[in-house]
C-alpha cells in the first residue's frame, strides 16, 4: 500500500512523524505547536537524556535542497541541543547513499541509518497492519492511500458516480478537519441523513465530499444522484442489502417549483424516511439555504415531515480563528504560489487580517490563493488584490443575488441592509407590505406574502433570531451581503428612495448618514433623497410618525430650514398629545432640547408620562436632567417618576456589575490538616468596599445635577447584598478546578493568537 505524503502540509507531516516514533520506540513523544522550532519537531526521553525528532517535508524541493538546508542551518542546532538520540524524517525518497550522507552530517547524534526515515521507510511502516491506527488517525493520509482509493474507486456505482468520486478525490488536499467534520459524521451516524446548508462559498460541497469519501472508504457504495429520486429508488431496490451512501450536491437546485408541482416532493420524503430507518444507507445532501427554505415553505409534505430537522447549517462564525488559520495555511501551502507572493501574506503578519476579516470565507480563500487567477498580477500588487476581494466579494454574491432569488427576497434584503443590517420583524413586515403596495416588484406566480418570503430569505441572505417573548429581529447572513448590495445598487436612486420610504426608521437614516460621512454617496443624491423622504414624512399622521426619524433626517443636510421649521411645529403638536408612549422618551428629549427654536411650552406634565412608561438608561436619565435644567421645570410628578426610574436603573446596572466583579483578591484558601482538604474563606469587608466602589462608579456616570431633583439611597442597595451568595456565585463561575485557581495552580491554556502565529512561523 502506498501513501501520498505530498497530500500533507509540513505541519501534518510533523505530527505523523511524531506518531510513528512514539509507536516505534514505545515512548511518549511530546509534540510542539507549529512555529520556529530550534531544530525540535518532537521530543522524547531516554532516562534523563533528551531525544529529538526533526522533520523536513521537502517533497517540493528535492534532495539537493534538503542537504543544503541541513548543512547550512540544522547541524549547528543539533550541536547546541546535544541529544542522546536524533531521529530525522523527510517525505522525499532516499537511497542508501543519501542516508549515509545524512548520518555523516549529524554524526555522532544520529546513531545509524535506521534513524533516518525517507518516503519508502514511512510507507513500509504505515503499510503494516498493526500500524493502521496511526494511518486512520491522520485522516488525509488515510483517505488518499492507494488501498483506500482502490476501495473508493471500486465502490463507485458506474457512470456519473464514478466521475464524481474521481473529482472529489483530486480536490481534497486542501481539506482541513474542523469541528464541522466531526459534527457531520456524528449526524450521519445517528440519523443516516444530513442536509448541509449555508451561504455560498462556506464549504457545503467540500464537507459533503469528505463525508461521502469517509463512508465510501469504509465500505459503502457511492451513488451520485441529481434530482431524480426515482434513480436512487431503483438502486435501492437492486441493492437492498448493500451499504450505500447516496450523494446529492445542490439538492433540488433552482427547479424547486418544478419538483413540487410535479409531486416529486412526496417521493423525496418517502425516500428520506426509508434511509432514516436503514443504518446500512446514508444520504448526504447540500442545499443553498434559500432553496431549502423555498422547498419547505412551498411543500406541505416537507413541512409535515419537518425536513429541516435534518439540516446542518454551516456558519462562518462556527469556525474558530485557529480553524481559519489552518484553512488559510493549507491553501497557501498547496497553492504553488511563488514565494514572492506568499511573502506578501506573511509580511507584518498580514495573514491575521485575512483570518479576522468579516468576509472570511473558504471560497474567497481559494479564490485569492489560486495560482492561475493571479498569474497576471505583480507580486507588489498582490496584497491589494487580496484586500479588494475580501472587502468587495462581488464574484461570490453577484450571480446568486441576481439570478438565484426573486424580487421579494431581494426586497427583504434591501430593507435589512438599509436599516443598518438589523431590523425587527414587525418593522420588516410593515416595510415590506408598504414596498409591495407602492412600488414595482415582480412577484411572479409565487406566494409573495411576508411570511412566505421571509422563510425563503432566512439563512440564505438573512438570519432570524429571538430577542424576547415572541419578538424577533433579522440580521444579514454575512456582512459581505451589505458590501455587495451597496456596490451594485447604491447609485440606483429610485430604488434607494423606495427602500428608505418603506422603512421610515431612524436606523435607515443613520445608515444613510454613515454612507454620506464615508463618501459612499454624493451630496446631490443625499439632498434629492432627503427632499423626497421629507415630503413622504409630512403625509404620515402624527400618531404614526417616528419623531427621532425627523431629527435624523434633518441632520442629513442641516441647511434645510424647511425641515427645521417643521420640527418646531411638530414639537407643539407633541406637547398637546396626551397619550404617553414611553418607548419614545429619548426621541422626545432630543426634539425638546436640540430643536426648541422659538417654541414655548408652559406645561411639561406630558413628559412625566413618558418617563413613567419608559425604561431609562444612562443617556435617558442625563437627557431628562438636561431638559429640567434647560426649562427650569418644577413638576413634582416628573421628579417622582424620575426617582423611581433612576432607582430601577441603578439596581439593574449594579446587579450586572456586581456579578462580574473580580473578587479573587478577597477570597483566600488554606489547608485544613485535620480534615485533609482546602478551605476557602473571604474578606466580607473588602468585598463590601468593592461593591461600594462599583455603585459609586455607576452613580458618577449620571449628571451631577441629578441629586438636585431626587435622592439616591445607595446604602439600601449595599445592604441588600448577600455576600455569601455573591462569593458562591463567583467561585462556581470557575467550574471544576476552582480550588487550584485560588492555590495558584490553575492554567488557562494556550494563547490563540500565539498559536496562529506559530502556524505561519517559518523555520
DSSP string, 209-255: HHHHHHHHHTT-EEEE--S-HHHHHHHHHHTTTS-EEEEESSTTTT-
374 pLDDT more than 90: no
pLDDT for the residue 671: 54
Confidence of residue 410 (pLDDT cuts 50, 70, 90): very high
Please give the full DSSP string across 76-130, using - where no structure is assigned.
HHHHHH--SEEEEEESS---HHHHHHHHHHTTTTS-SGGGEE-HHHHHHHHHSGG
Are 265 and 230 in contact by the 8 Å Cβ rule? The answer is: no
Q: Is the dihedral of CA 11, 17, 22, 28 positive or negative?
A: negative
180 pLDDT more than 80: yes
Q: Kind of pairing, strands 30-31 and 42-46?
A: antiparallel
- Range list of β-strands (E), 461-612: 462-468, 471-476
State the helix-helix crossing angle for 605-612 and 618-631, rounded to 10 degrees.
170
Give the whole-angstrom CA distance, residue 335 versus residue 148: 25
pLDDT for the residue 142: 76
718 pLDDT more than 80: yes
The position carrying cell 429610485 is 494
Confidence of residue 262 (pLDDT cuts 50, 70, 90): very low
- Range list of β-strands (E), 374-424: 422-424
- Which residues contact residue 685 at a Cβ distance below 8 angstroms, ignoring those fewer than 6 apart? none
Looking at per-residue pLDDT, the higher value among 743 and 560 belongs to 560
- Which residues contact residue 307 at a Cβ distance below 8 angstroms, ignoring those fewer than 6 apart? 195, 269, 272, 292, 295, 296
560 pLDDT more than 80: no
Please give the full DSSP string across 546-557, using - where no structure is assigned.
-HHHHHHHHHTT
762 pLDDT more than 70: no
Closest among 417, 573, 604 to 492, alpha carbons compared:
417
Give the side-chain half-sphere CA count within 13 A for 139. 14
Cα 318 to Cα 304, 321, 327, 361: the distances in Å are: 29, 10, 14, 12
pLDDT for the residue 153: 58
pLDDT for the residue 746: 36
Phi/psi-derived region of residue 47, left when phi > 0, alpha when psi is between -120 and 50, beta in every other case: left
pLDDT for the residue 739: 46
Give me 353's grid cell: 487580517
Closest among 251, 325, 285 to 11, alpha carbons compared:
325
pLDDT for the residue 258: 43
Are 529 and 493 in contact by the 8 Å Cβ rule? The answer is: yes
pLDDT for the residue 333: 85
Give the whole-angstrom CA distance, residue 395 versus residue 201: 11
Average pLDDT, the chain: 79
Give the whole-angstrom CA distance, residue 20 versus residue 41: 13
335 pLDDT more than 70: yes
Give the whole-angstrom CA distance, residue 676 versus residue 194: 52
Give the whole-angstrom CA distance, residue 514 versus residue 417: 13
462 pLDDT more than 90: no
Q: Cα–chain-centroid distance for residue 174?
A: 20
Per mean pLDDT, which range of 252-266, 374-388, 493-507, 702-716 is the poorest? 252-266
Using one digit for the tens of pLDDT, what is the confidence trace for 629-663?
988 888 888 899 899 999 998 998 888 788 778 78
pLDDT for the residue 544: 56
pLDDT for the residue 659: 75
DSSP state of 398: H
Residues facing residue 312 across a β-bridge: 196
Asked if omega into 666 is within 30° of 0 (cis), the reply is no
676 pLDDT more than 70: no
Mean local confidence (pLDDT), 136-156 = 69
Between the two ends of the chain, the Cα-to-Cα distance in Å is 32
Give the whole-angstrom CA distance, residue 212 versus residue 283: 9
Are 212 and 172 in contact by the 8 Å Cβ rule? The answer is: no
pLDDT for the residue 573: 67
C-alpha torsion angle, residues 18, 24, 29, 34 (rounded to 10): 0
What percent of the chain stands above pLDDT 90?
A: 14
Mean local confidence (pLDDT), 51-80 = 85
Whether CATH 3.40.50 fits 5-132: no
Give the whole-angstrom CA distance, residue 652 versus residue 666: 24
Looking at per-residue pLDDT, the higher value among 139 and 718 belongs to 718
260 pLDDT more than 70: no
Give the whole-angstrom CA distance, residue 300 versus residue 271: 16
Per mean pLDDT, which range of 49-58, 346-355, 586-595 is the poorest? 586-595
Looking at per-residue pLDDT, the higher value among 582 and 249 belongs to 249
Domain range summary for the chain, segments of one domain joined by +: 5-132, 145-317, 640-732
pLDDT for the residue 466: 73
SS3 for 69? Answer: helix
pLDDT for the residue 482: 84
Confidence of residue 216 (pLDDT cuts 50, 70, 90): confident
The position carrying cell 443598518 is 420
pTM of the shown model: 0.53
261 pLDDT more than 70: no
Using one digit for the tens of pLDDT, what is the confidence trace for 303-331?
666 666 777 887 777 788 888 888 898 88
pLDDT for the residue 743: 43
Give the whole-angstrom CA distance, residue 705 versus residue 713: 16
pLDDT for the residue 209: 86
Which CATH architecture describes the domain 145-317? 3-Layer(aba) Sandwich (3.40)
Instruction: Identify the H or E element spanning 195.
Output: strand 193-198
DSSP state of 44: E
SS3 for 734? Answer: coil
Confidence of residue 101 (pLDDT cuts 50, 70, 90): very high
363 pLDDT more than 50: yes
Using one digit for the tens of pLDDT, what is the confidence trace for 719-752?
888 888 888 877 776 544 444 444 443 333 444 5
Give me 761's grid cell: 512561523
Per mean pLDDT, which range of 186-200, 238-252, 290-304 is the poorest? 290-304
50 pLDDT more than 80: yes
pLDDT for the residue 257: 41
Give the whole-angstrom CA distance, residue 533 versus residue 527: 10
Number of C-beta neighbours around residue 459 at 10 A? 22
Amino acid at each position: 500500500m502506498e501513501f501520498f505524503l505530498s497530500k500533507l502540509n509540513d505541519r501534518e507531516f510533523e505530527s505523523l512523524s511524531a506518531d510513528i516514533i512514539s509507536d516505534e520506540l514505545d515512548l511518549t513523544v511530546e509534540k510542539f505547536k507549529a512555529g520556529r522550532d530550534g531544530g525540535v519537531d518532537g521530543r522524547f526521553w531516554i532516562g534523563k537524556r533528551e531525544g529529538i525528532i526533526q522533520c523536513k517535508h521537502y517533497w517540493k524541493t528535492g534532495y539537493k535542497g534538503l542537504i543544503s538546508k541541513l548543512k547550512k542551518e540544522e547541524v549547528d542546532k543539533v550541536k547546541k541541543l546535544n541529544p542522546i538520540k536524533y531521529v530525522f524524517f523527510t517525505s522525499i525518497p532516499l537511497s542508501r547513499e543519501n542516508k549515509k550522507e545524512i548520518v555523516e552530517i549529524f554524526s555522532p547524534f544520529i546513531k545509524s541509518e535506521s534513524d533516518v526515515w525517507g518516503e519508502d521507510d514511512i510507507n513500509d511502516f504505515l503499510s503494516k497492519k498493526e500500524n493502521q491506527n496511526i494511518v486512520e488517525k491522520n485522516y488525509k493520509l488515510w483517505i488518499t492511500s492507494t488501498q483506500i482509493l482502490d476501495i473508493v474507486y471500486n465502490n463507485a456505482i458506474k457512470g456519473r458516480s464514478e466521475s464524481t468520486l474521481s473529482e472529489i478525490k483530486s480536490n481534497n488536499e486542501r481539506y482541513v478537519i474542523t469541528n464541522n467534520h466531526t459534527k457531520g459524521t456524528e449526524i450521519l451516524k445517528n440519523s443516516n441523513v444530513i442536509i448541509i446548508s449555508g451561504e455560498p462559498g462556506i464549504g457545503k460541497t467540500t464537507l459533503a465530499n469528505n463525508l461521502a469519501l469517509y463512508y465510501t472508504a469504509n465500505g459503502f457504495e457511492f451513488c451520485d444522484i441529481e434530482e431524480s429520486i426515482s434513480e436512487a429508488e431503483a438502486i435501492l431496490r437492486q441493492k437492498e442489502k448493500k451499504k450505500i451512501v447516496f450523494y446529492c450536491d445542490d439538492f433540488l437546485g433552482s427547479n424547486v417549483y418544478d419538483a413540487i408541482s410535479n409531486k416529486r416532493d412526496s417521493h423525496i420524503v418517502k425516500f428520506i424516511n426509508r434511509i432514516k430507518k436503514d443504518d446500512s444507507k446514508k444520504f448526504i445532501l447540500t442545499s443553498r439555504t434559500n432553496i431549502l427554505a423555498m422547498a419547505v415553505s412551498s411543500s406541505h409534505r416537507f413541512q409535515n415531515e419537518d425536513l429541516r430537522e435534518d439540516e446542518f447549517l454551516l456558519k462562518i462564525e462556527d469556525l474558530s480563528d485557529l480553524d481559519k488559520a489552518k484553512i488559510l495555511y493549507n491553501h497557501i501551502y498547496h497553492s504553488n504560489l511563488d514565494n514572492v507572493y506568499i511573502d506578501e501574506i506573511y509580511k507584518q503578519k498580514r495573514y491575521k487580517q485575512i483570518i479576522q476579516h468579516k468576509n472570511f470565507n473558504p471560497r474567497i480563500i481559494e479564490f485569492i490563493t489560486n495560482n492561475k487567477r493571479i498569474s497576471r498580477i505583480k507580486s507588489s500588487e498582490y496584497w491589494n488584490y487580496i484586500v479588494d476581494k475580501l472587502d468587495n466579494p462581488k464574484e461570490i454574491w453577484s450571480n446568486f443575488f441576481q439570478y438565484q432569488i426573486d424580487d421579494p427576497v431581494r426586497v427583504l434584503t434591501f430593507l435589512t441592509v438599509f436599516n443598518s443590517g438589523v431590523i425587527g420583524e414587525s418593522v420588516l413586515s410593515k416595510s415590506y407590505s408598504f414596498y409591495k403596495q407602492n412600488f414595482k416588484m415582480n412577484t411572479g406566480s409565487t406566494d409573495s406574502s411576508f411570511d412566505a418570503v421571509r422563510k425563503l430569505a432566512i439563512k440564505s441572505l438573512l438570519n432570524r433570531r429571538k430577542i424576547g417573548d415572541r419578538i424577533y429581529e433579522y440580521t444579514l447572513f454575512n456582512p459581505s451581503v451589505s458590501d455587495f448590495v451597496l456596490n451594485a445598487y447604491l447609485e440606483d436612486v429610485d430604488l434607494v428612495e423606495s427602500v428608505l420610504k418603506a422603512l421610515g426608521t431612524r436606523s435607515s437614516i443613520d445608515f444613510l448618514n454613515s454612507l454620506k460621512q464615508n463618501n459612499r454617496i454624493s451630496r446631490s443624491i443625499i439632498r434629492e433623497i432627503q427632499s423626497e423622504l421629507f415630503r413622504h414624512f409630512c403625509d404620515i399622521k402624527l400618531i404614526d410618525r417616528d419623531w427621532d426619524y425627523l431629527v435624523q433626517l434633518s441632520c442629513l443636510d442641516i441647511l434645510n430650514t424647511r425641515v427645521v421649521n417643521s420640527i418646531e411645529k411638530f414639537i407643539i403638536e407633541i406637547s398637546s398629545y396626551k397619550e404617553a408612549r414611553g418607548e419614545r422618551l429619548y426621541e422626545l428629549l432630543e426634539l425638546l432640547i436640540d430643536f426648541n427654536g422659538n417654541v414655548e411650552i408652559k406645561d411639561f406634565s406630558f413628559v412625566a408620562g413618558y418617563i413613567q412608561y419608559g425604561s431609562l438608561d444612562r443617556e435617558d436619565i442625563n437627557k431628562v436632567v438636561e431638559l429640567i435644567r434647560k426649562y427650569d421645570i418644577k413638576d413634582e410628578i416628573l421628579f417622582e417618576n424620575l426617582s423611581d426610574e433612576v432607582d430601577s436603573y441603578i439596581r439593574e446596572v449594579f446587579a450586572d456589575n456586581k456579578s462580574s466583579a473580580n473578587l479573587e483578591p478577597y477570597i483566600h484558601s488554606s489547608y485544613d490538616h485535620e480534615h485533609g482538604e482546602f478551605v476557602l474563606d473571604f474578606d466580607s469587608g473588602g468585598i463590601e468596599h468593592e461593591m461600594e466602589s462599583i455603585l459609586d462608579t455607576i452613580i458618577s456616570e449620571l449628571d451631577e445635577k441629578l441629586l438636585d431633583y431626587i435622592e439616591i439611597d445607595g446604602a439600601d442597595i449595599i445592604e441588600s447584598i448577600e455576600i455569601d451568595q455573591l462569593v458562591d456565585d463567583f467561585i462556581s463561575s470557575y467550574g471544576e478546578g476552582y480550588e487550584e485557581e485560588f492555590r495558584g495552580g490553575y492554567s488557562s491554556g494556550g494563547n490563540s493568537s500565539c498559536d496562529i502565529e506559530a502556524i505561519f512561523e517559518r523555520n
